[in-house]
Amino acid sequence: MKIASVNVNGIRAAHRKGMLDWVKETNPDILALQEVRAGDADIKKIVSEMGLAEDGGPWHLDHDEASQKGRAGVAVLSKLPIKSRSVKLGADDFDSAGRWLETEFDVEGKKLTVVSIYVHSGEVDSPKQVEKYKFLDAMTERMQELISQELVLLVGDLNVGHTELDIKNWKGNLKNSGFLPEERAYFDGFMKTQGWIDVGRAAHPDSPGPYSWWSYRGQAFDNDAGWRIDYHLATPKLAELASDYQVHRAPSYDTRWSDHSPVVANYSL
């Protein structure tokens, strides 16, 4: 089963720039999207143009729109029917709309849970950073519950580089949101305390990257001065079934349809 995840940086813009060509060529079984930044009608129209799923039926779609129009938004597209969904995260008064979408599938009698996640970027000493920590706190609590299941995959733009291998210019970002010690400590907890497996790092244990995001400014993409902030985090059982992890980096700056690249892996379920 091929599972892909990508921050589309606005699905309508990505659609205009060629996203559908990539979808048809890659042919994922499940595709998680972040920063959809569109309403239900818009994303349904675009999905309808993706063609038919392998079994001849339509793509199955679930979308959680952000409370703020034109912001965030997460979705899951699948060739398999989506058996259930949940967007519950944190306290009842915590607004996680458009940032956390759990979907459940039946794969030949096995329960598979795929979560599409968007952790927004922060800004040091600002309300935005406080909100980011609140979201990471809520994530931590829910992930502790999910780790007890056998087949769970968390994917998405988590907007934190975990280690020095995850950012080209890590020395210059030690005091910037996205690489703060406090943020990275959450990821230590996910992997070292809770037991989640970073599929991308497991596939590339000692080498920098492969990066998944590059700024549109300057020559970041051409110089591969990127960040690895898009993840596949799997339960240990599911991680054992993972193979062929890849970041689908565009061949050139002018062929990009998002500032992020899709992250793809196969899972032998």
CA dihedral 105, 108, 110, 112 (to 10 degrees): -30
Q: Which two tokens stand for residue 20?
A: 């559908």
DSSP annotation of 73 reads -
User: φ and ψ at 263, to 5 degrees?
Assistant: -115, 125
Residue 58 to residue 71: CA distance in whole angstroms:
27
The verdict on whether 157 is a catalytic residue reads: yes
Query: Per DSSP, what are the bridge partners of residue 265?
Result: 3
Q: Which two tokens stand for residue 48?
A: 């309808």
C-beta of residue 76 within 8 angstroms of C-beta of residue 29: no
Residue 96, C-beta contacts closer than 8 angstroms, at least 6 positions apart: 87, 89, 90, 135, 138
Beta strands in the chain (DSSP E): 2-7, 30-34, 60-64, 74-78, 84-86, 100-107, 110-118, 152-157, 197-198, 230-234, 242-247, 263-267
Active-site entry in 42, 55, 106, 157:
157
Active-site residue set:
157
